Amino acid sequence: MRTAVEYLTLPFLFLLSSLCSFQMIACITDILTASQFIKDGETIISSGGTFELGFFSPSKTTNRYVGIWYKNISIQTVVWVANREVSLINTSGFLEVIKPGLLVLRNDTNDIIWSSNSSRSVQNPVVQLLDTGNLVVKDANEDHPGTFLWQSFDYPTDTALPGMKLGQNFVTGLKVYLSSWKSYEDPAPGEYSYSYDDLGYPQFLLKRGSILLCRPGPWNGVGFSGLSIIRKNPIFSAEQFFNETELYFSYHLLGSTILRFTLSPIGVGQVWTWDGNARSWKLFLSEPADSCDNYGICGAYGSCDTRNYALCGCLDKFSPKFPERWAKGDSSNGCVRNIALDCHGGDGFLKYSGYKLPDTRTSLFNQSSSLEECEMVCLKNCSCTAYSNTDIRNGGSGCLLWFGDLMDMKVTYEAGQDIYIRVAFSESVSLDGSEGRKRKILVISLSLLICLVLLGLSFIYLWRRKKKHSKLKKQGMPGHIHDKDCTTELVKKDLELPLFELSTIIKATNNFSNHNKLGEGGFGIVYKGVLEEGQEVAVKRLSETSRQGLDEFKNEVKCIAKLQHRNLVKLLGCCTEGEQKMLIYEYMPNRSLDSFIFDQKISELLDWPKRFHIIQGIARGLLYLHQDSRLRIIHRDLKASNILLDADLNPKISDFGIARSFGGDETGANTSRVVGTFGYMSPEYAVHGRFSVKSDVFSFGVILLEIVSGKRNRGFVHHDHHHNLLGHVWKLYKEGRALEMIESYLGNSYCSSEVRRSIHVGLLCVQQRPEDRPGMSSVVFMLTNEGQLPEAKQPGFFLERNVIDAYDSSNDEITITLLQAR
């Protein structure tokens, strides 16, 4: 039997337990600290009571997700989802913030199924749900937006809330965009995306995968040229901010209206407002709103007008390209000019008012130029087809130029903008008026002046060339053949490599815009480009100050033009117009290997199977160069930054500027000019100028060990010794602790025997003596087959100080001329 004390104590304990439980939940208002967590059924609420965060299930499913929704709206409307790709299968999940500043979601087995990221560590991290709907991770001692460790506004799902910035940070590379739910019951990323495209003048694009479906037109200071409702509405204001470091679009509410912009699972952008009286969401704006919003429906120089029965028509001074198809309702091939352009005879421009501006992906812009300056620039360039202002406020400012056909124009009666399109001079103005006569006189005068200047320059050039040729002839030397002629002859006759026009490359790279810049090396700058048919390319442009000159350009063309292998980057063609020397390659969306393995965050994307796949791919590509190609080729500059990764992370060897080819039984040579990258060069090449296929094997071994470890050979630091990475791995290998050098992120998820074999093969490749190193055929065999491996010997250059003093240790890429006698 229970005593009286027990009868009194039990209710007290129950009450205390209830109070503690209540206190635990009550403490969680808008902030979650490192000592707290929320489990399924519990929520946190923003300070103003506008938003709530917790666990939810979409309709018709029992899967659980962590999301944010409106607190005081009767219809649960989710505006953000954390674990949209991996759902919880029961209600045992919980959300917590952990040091050094990560928000993590765990399942019933305590595994992390979703996590935020952070660029720095703090001692006292907290999570706060702001009244804007933004979920932030921050230091409890800091309270400024710029100090957030992470925020959900940087990683939206299908909804843009007021104050959110959709766009791109050019410094950090962060891109903020919307992606639809897979379906109304599945928040996983769907087919559709809505994002800024900065190829040319920035514009929003609505896409299904890579297919462009719709665009509202570029921002013009007061709105999008294709959306009238943005410009005049009492509910919200919008702005675009664009400079060298940042590009974003944001909107702000003008009153107490509740509003959200969403991208639906069927690919429709929608602006919704909450009707408190009807207790329902009302559609305020939809995009695409009508058939004219479908991208390119009327083709080039076509104009779509919803007030016309036929929808599509041609711009004034243009006619259907295929009239018989237009008669049958097919306008996809667009329109052509009634009178062809004659740039040298003088063209003009015709003003078209009230249109959604054309697709700007083939445009250039200058935000400080006037419209008059814009006209003059466009008139001087035969490829320029139209111009307009970038900003229509205060009478207009900024210059926007189009190159190539004008696509996706639409009559917009309230939001449209003026655009000046190039036409034949006779169609541009009335020649009977004074304005026409002045314009004609001006154009003719300019044309005559340009012709006279060009004629004079040509005469001076020919006179100097003739004088130089005569001087050489007197000295018994042949006249000089221009580099362009030589290079073009090489490309056309010897290699049959396609030649690209300079205008094509300028258009593809947005006039070599910094936004298109992929990287820079000894050759020059590499740009991303998009050809007219949509193919993405990488353009390698020889700079005037390049340490690698015309010889290296020709060498790269000779070495790689006719090579075909899945692990070699493909050369698509060249551009040798004027003084320009450019190589056009297939585009590698994942860029170079070093950007993956040496970046703490990105390296987590490479699990062991992917790393081993990359190692094998490099080995097969090198085997092809050494043994299976038409000529034996020694790369001489094999390094992680010269290994490019395609969309499926397949490795491709690139940069053959200093490669050497051999025929017959030749396997190497000597040189007095050692060119390469310190940390990857073999000892015999760096010290004595002797290079061979075994020099490439040494470089491959370095790359292999860097892939496994995630550490650079050059500059490797360890508190116990002064070895570089090769020396460190060699030390662990001799002590039977080789697995300690692997990338920490891999944890225990790798195949230990496969990793051990890879490390062993890497050490065999970097042995001091070239004759001890295996050939690439043996390397490929050893990587893919079980069996006893030979004992590795001491690697070359395994001490950081084991280098001759002639090297400049502050510079990774070096060119050394050896002075000793041969």
Distant-in-sequence, close-in-space partners of 351: CB < 8 Å, separation ≥ 6? 418, 419, 420
Per the CB < 8 A criterion, the answer to whether 682 and 695 are in contact is: yes
Coil vs helix vs strand at 56: strand
Coil vs helix vs strand at 65: strand
Integer Cα distance of 108 and 540 in angstroms:
52
Long-range contacts of 520-526, Cβ-Cβ distance < 8 Å, separation of 24 or more? 521/641, 521/655, 521/813, 522/546, 522/547, 522/548, 522/657, 522/813, 523/548, 523/552, 523/553, 523/655, 523/657
User: Could you tell me which residues are beta bridge partners of residue 314?
Assistant: 302
Question: How far is residue 748 CA from its own chain's centroid?
Answer: 32
Coil vs helix vs strand at 69: strand
Coil vs helix vs strand at 612: helix
Task: Say whether 540 counts as a known binding-site residue.
Answer: yes
Q: Beta strand 302-304 with 409-411: parallel, antiparallel or unpaired?
A: parallel
Integer Cα distance of 70 and 668 in angstroms:
71
Integer Cα distance of 640 and 519 in angstroms:
14
- Is residue 720 flagged as an active site residue? no
Question: How far is residue 32 CA from its own chain's centroid?
Answer: 35
Based on its alpha-carbon atoms, the radius of gyration of the chain, rounded to whole angstroms, reads 33
Integer Cα distance of 679 and 813 in angstroms:
9
Closest CA to 642 of 694, 595, 697, 705: 595
Coil vs helix vs strand at 303: strand
Give, in order, the Cα–Cα distances in Å from 198 to each of 168, 176, 366, 383. 9, 13, 14, 21
168 phi and psi angles, rounded to 5 deg: -150, 140
Catalytic residue (choose from 347, 637, 655, 696): 637
Closest CA to 793 of 728, 712, 716, 733: 733
Q: Determine what percent of the chain falls in helix, strand and coil, rounding each to the nearest 5.
A: 30, 30, 40
Exposed/middle/buried for residue 250 (C-beta within 10 Å: 0-12, 13-18, 19+): middle
Integer Cα distance of 794 and 731 in angstroms:
10
Residue tagged 């320029």 (tokens): 384
Measured on CA atoms in the order 509, 515, 519, 522, is the torsion positive or negative?
Answer: positive
Distant-in-sequence, close-in-space partners of 62: CB < 8 Å, separation ≥ 6? none
DSSP letter assigned to residue 494: I
Give the DSSP H/E element, type plus range, for residue 573.
strand 571-575
Integer Cα distance of 47 and 45 in angstroms:
6
Burial 649-668 (b: 16+ CB within 10 A, else e): bbbbbbbbbbbbbbeeeeeb
Per the CB < 8 A criterion, the answer to whether 692 and 622 are in contact is: no
Q: Which two three-digit tokens encode residue 135? A: 């979920």
Exposed/middle/buried for residue 461 (C-beta within 10 Å: 0-12, 13-18, 19+): exposed
Distant-in-sequence, close-in-space partners of 174: CB < 8 Å, separation ≥ 6? 154, 168
Active-site amino acid positions: 637
Binding residues for ATP, by number, are: 540
